[in-house]
């Protein structure tokens, strides 16, 4: 094995694949095709331009993660010598030079940095980074990384000897996430064509999941981020609300819906985090006022009541107080109570209404239509519950779930249109 030091040189630029109309011929990203995340749009535009990359360009791409690097620091890193390892084999990671400069997975001090694999036969390159280079690089040599993307399957089929490896350890004046900034710098060069992603994705768990918040009619994009934690910590939205919306399409605050995929052609509202928070706070206040409205319960004629009589009438100062009482009769919740208030149907033997808006018993059944969009076949059911049973046993769902899809207009299972009449 031969190891030598080599100074990094300037990179040549060339554009990615574009169609005859000039639009990007998007590669497959994480197994999906279609519109990319905003950060990827920015990254591909830099690759297309082929201009020298500056720190401000790197910072713009990584703005979603609040990661920054100064131009002076970037210049200093790029002007230092990088380790270049060639004639690679299984003994490379056991060599004194590797151990002295990179260490082992059990080293007390883990060296952060960036690494570049170059395929000797084609010249194709891959760049990666890690806050613990030893663990990451040893995984390549031992074949313990999952066979994803382009690089690892190539290494497993041809062996590490088919590559040379450059390593840029970051030790002097290192700051947290600096390796991500440096990796992003290289990703904005077209020669790194073994990378399927053009934006660093060294984020674990919830941070790696993109999220979009639209108006309930899906006509406007309010906010999006590559990191779901931004919604939790910047917009103060509880993760359970996000999960419900993603799973069933349930509206957040009665006005917004979350998706994990971008919707093409939707107008993007340009609002700052401060403005969005102001808007959401107003919506939350209005919802609290709604929840604080007085509720009237009137015993439904002909329905026997547990703990009451048919002439019973009760008034509560809020929907929470109402639920507390109804729970003494049978399990109850706010969402269901509001639905019965709007429909006028009896709930646990009571006709429920907002004070001043007394409802009568509804004796006419609703009509729920299910249209199978691909075949344009429509079936009609007298209730959401019976509509839900239509899908059994192949699809297990509930009437409440179908009601949510009817309200927001989204297709259930991407092929059924639910309407209410």
**Would residue 198 count as lying in a domain?**
no
Say yes or no: 86 and 178 in one domain.
yes
Same domain, 251 and 129: no
Shared domain for 232 and 331, answered yes or no, is no
**Is 376:360 a contact under the CB 8 Å cutoff?**
no
Residue 316 domain flag: yes
* Residue 100 pLDDT greater than 80, yes or no: yes
Q: Indicate whether 18 belongs to any domain.
A: yes
Residues 272 and 408 in one domain: no
Identify whether residues 270 and 349 lie together within a single domain. Answer: no
Looking at every residue in the chain, the average pLDDT score rounds to: 80
Dist. CA 222–CA 234, nearest whole Å: 14
- Whether 345 maps to a domain, the answer reads yes
pLDDT band at 12 (very low <50, low <70, confident <90, very high): very low
What is the distance between the terminal CA atoms of the chain, rounded to a whole angstrom?
A: 76
Task: Give the number of domains in the chain.
Answer: 4
| The pLDDT value given to residue 254 | 82
Q: What is the pLDDT of residues 164-176, one digit of tens each?
A: 999 999 988 888 8
Q: How confident is the model at residue 288 (pLDDT cuts 50, 70, 90)?
A: low
Residue 329 CA, chain-centre distance (Å), reads: 41
Q: Give per-residue pLDDT as tens, 294-320.
A: 888 888 665 544 444 546 788 888 888
Task: Give Cβ neighbours of residue 318 (< 8 Å, ≥ 6 apart).
Answer: 291, 292, 293, 294, 295
Question: At residue 6, does pLDDT exceed 60?
Answer: no
Contact 368, 387 (CB under 8 A): yes
Alpha carbon 126 to chain centroid, angstroms: 25
Select the more confidently predicted residue: 95 or 244: 95
Is 182 found in the same domain as 129? yes
Average pLDDT rounded to a whole number, residues 76-81:
91
**What is the H or E stretch that residue 271 is in?**
none
Q: Point out the domain boundary residue: 256, 285, 314.
A: 285
Q: Among residues 137, 153, 187, which one ends one of the domains?
A: 187
Q: What are the C-alpha distances in Å from 139 to residues 160, 169, 421?
A: 12, 17, 59
DSSP strand pairing (295-299 vs 350-354): antiparallel
The answer on 180 and 41 residing in a single domain is yes
Mean pLDDT of the region 62-90: 91
Q: Of the residues 157, 187, 217, which one is the last residue of a structural domain? A: 187
Of 157, 152, 148, 124, nearest in space to 137 by CA = 152
| In a shared domain, residues 174 and 209 | no
Are 214 and 123 part of one and the same domain?
Answer: no
| 166-170, 214-218, 388-392, range with the lowest pLDDT | 388-392
Q: Is residue 24 part of a domain?
A: yes
- Give the pairing of strands 220-225 and 256-259: unpaired
> What Rg value do the Cα atoms of the chain yield, rounded?
29
Which tokens belong to 13? 């630029």
Tens digit of each residue's pLDDT (9 = 90 or more) over 242-277: 888 888 888 888 889 998 888 878 888 888 888 998
Peptide bond into 393 cis (omega under 30): yes
- Rounded-to-integer distance, Cα 347 and Cα 132, Å: 59
Distances (CA, A) of 181 to 155, 188, 201, 363: 25, 11, 11, 65
- With respect to residue 97, please indicate whether it lies within any of the assigned structural domains: yes
Work out whether strand 267-268 and strand 220-225 pair parallel, antiparallel, or are unpaired. Answer: parallel
For residue 200, tell me if it sits in a domain. Answer: no
- pLDDT interval class at 364 (50, 70, 90): very low
| DSSP character string of 222-259 | EEEES-THHHHHTS---HHHHHHHHHH-PPBTTTEEEE
Angle in degrees, 0-180, between the axes of helices 239-248 and 399-408, rounded to the nearest 10: 90
* Of the candidate ranges 194-198, 277-281, 304-308, the one whose mean pLDDT is the lowest: 304-308
Query: Whole domain around residue 89: which residue ranges?
Result: 2-187
Examine the pLDDT at 29 and tell me if it is beyond 60.
no
Looking at residue 4, its pLDDT comes to 41
Q: Dig out the tokens for 16 from the structure.
A: 């990615």
pLDDT band at 291 (very low <50, low <70, confident <90, very high): low
What are the tens digits of pLDDT across the range 112-162?
999 999 999 999 999 999 888 998 999 999 998 888 889 999 999 999 999
Token pair 């009509």 in the structure block, residue: 367
Q: Say which residues have a Cβ less than 8 Å from residue 226's Cβ, sequence separation at least 6.
A: 37, 39, 64, 65, 199, 203, 208, 210
Decide if 360 is inside a domain.
Answer: no
Same domain, yes or no, for 160 and 240? Answer: no
Cα–Cα dist 369/367, whole Å = 7
Residue 24: predicted pLDDT: 40
Residues 347 and 399 in one domain: no
Distance CA 416, CA 411 (A): 5
Q: How far is CA 283 from CA 243, 253, 278, 286, 348, in A?
A: 20, 7, 9, 5, 30
CATH of the domain at 249: 1.10.10
Please say if the pLDDT value at position 17 is more than 80. Answer: no
Q: Quick check: 206 pLDDT over 90?
A: no
Residues 309 and 164 in one domain: no
């Amino acid at each position: 094995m031969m190891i030598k030091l080599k100074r990094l040189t300037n990179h040549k630029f060339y554009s990615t694949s574009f169609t005859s109309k000039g639009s990007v011929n998007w590669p497959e990203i994480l197994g999906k095709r279609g519109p990319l995340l905003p950060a990827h749009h920015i990254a591909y535009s830099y690759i297309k331009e082929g201009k020298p990359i500056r720190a401000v360009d790197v910072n713009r791409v990584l703005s979603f993660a609040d990661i920054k690097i100064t131009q002076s620091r970037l210049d200093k890193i790029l002007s230092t010598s990088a380790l270049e390892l060639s004639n690679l084999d299984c003994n490379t990671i056991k060599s004194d030079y590797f151990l002295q400069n990179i260490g082992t997975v059990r080293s007390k001090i883990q060296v952060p940095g960036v690494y570049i694999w170059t395929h000797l036969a084609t010249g194709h390159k891959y760049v990666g980074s890690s806050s613990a280079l030893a663990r990451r690089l040893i995984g390549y040599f031992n074949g313990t990384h999952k066979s994803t993307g382009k690089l690892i399957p190539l290494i497993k089929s041809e062996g590490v000897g088919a590559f040379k490896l450059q390593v840029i350890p970051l030790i002097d004046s290192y700051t947290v996430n600096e390796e991500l900034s440096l990796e992003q710098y290289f990703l904005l060069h077209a020669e790194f064509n073994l990378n399927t992603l053009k934006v660093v994705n060294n984020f674990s768990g919830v941070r790696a999941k993109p999220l979009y918040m639209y108006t309930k009619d899906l006509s406007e994009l309010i906010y999006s981020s590559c990191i779901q934690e931004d919604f939790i910590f910047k917009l103060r939205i509880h993760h359970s609300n996000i999960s419900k919306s993603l799973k069933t399409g349930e509206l957040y605050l009665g006005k917004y819906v979350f998706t994990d995929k971008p919707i093409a052609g939707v107008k993007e509202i340009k609002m700052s985090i401060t403005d969005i928070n102001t808007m959401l706070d107003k919506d939350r206040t209005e919802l609290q006022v709604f929840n604080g409205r007085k509720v009237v319960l009137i015993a439904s004629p002909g329905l026997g009541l547990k703990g009451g009589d048919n002439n019973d009438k009760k008034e509560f100062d809020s929907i929470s107080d109402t639920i507390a009482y109804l729970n003494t009769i049978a399990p109850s919740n706010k969402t269901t109570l509001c639905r019965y208030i709007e429909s006028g149907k009896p709930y646990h033997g009571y006709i429920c209404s907002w004070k001043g808006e007394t409802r009568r018993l509804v004796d006419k059944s609703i009509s729920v239509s299910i249209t199978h969009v691909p075949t344009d076949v429509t079936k009609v059911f007298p209730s959401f519950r019976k509509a839900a049973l239509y899908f059994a046993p192949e699809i297990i769902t509930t009437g409440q779930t179908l009601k949510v899809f009817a309200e927001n207009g989204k297709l259930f299972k991407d092929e059924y249109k639910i309407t209410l009449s």
